[in-house]
Amino acid sequence: MKGTHLGELEEIALLVVANLFDNAYGVAIKLEIEEKCNRSITISTVHNVLQRLSEKNFLESRYSEPTNERGGKRKLLFRVTKSGQAALTTSKKLRDNLWSGIPKIAFEQ
């Protein structure tokens, strides 16, 4: 079992998968990341991060029915697992905690 720590890209990918629910596959995830995060990302990098998350058991995947628009190839659809959800929650909590601890004066300049 790999560590449960989430990298920045991993976290984004996980959130995007959750966002896209039921239609979370390579190209859709790539486009969503590009649109929401305003950054460009290659399809290979998307696949790589999805694979990494799967290895960590944060994602599960299944093949869709064959489609016509992609040369007849099926989509590999991803879904966040329970432990994926737990990792996201932990990460969010950690951040909230840190945010709430910032004294007001720290950002006033």
- Give the nearest distance from C-beta 38 to other proteins in angstroms: 19
- Neighbour count for residue 16 (Cβ, 10 Å): 21
The answer to whether 73 contacts other proteins (rule: CB under 8 A) is yes
> Which of 74, 82, 92, 95 contacts other proteins by CB under 8 A?
74
Spell out the residues 6+ positions from residue 78 whose beta carbon is closer than 8 angstroms to its own: 17, 24, 25, 29, 50, 54, 59, 60, 61
What residues numbered 25-44 form the site for other proteins, per CB under 8 A?
Answer: 25-27, 30, 42-44
The answer to whether 2 contacts other proteins (rule: CB under 8 A) is no
Per the listing, tokens 């029915």 go with 65
Binding site residues, other proteins, CB under 8 A: 25-27, 30, 42-45, 47-48, 51-52, 55, 63, 67, 69-71, 73-76
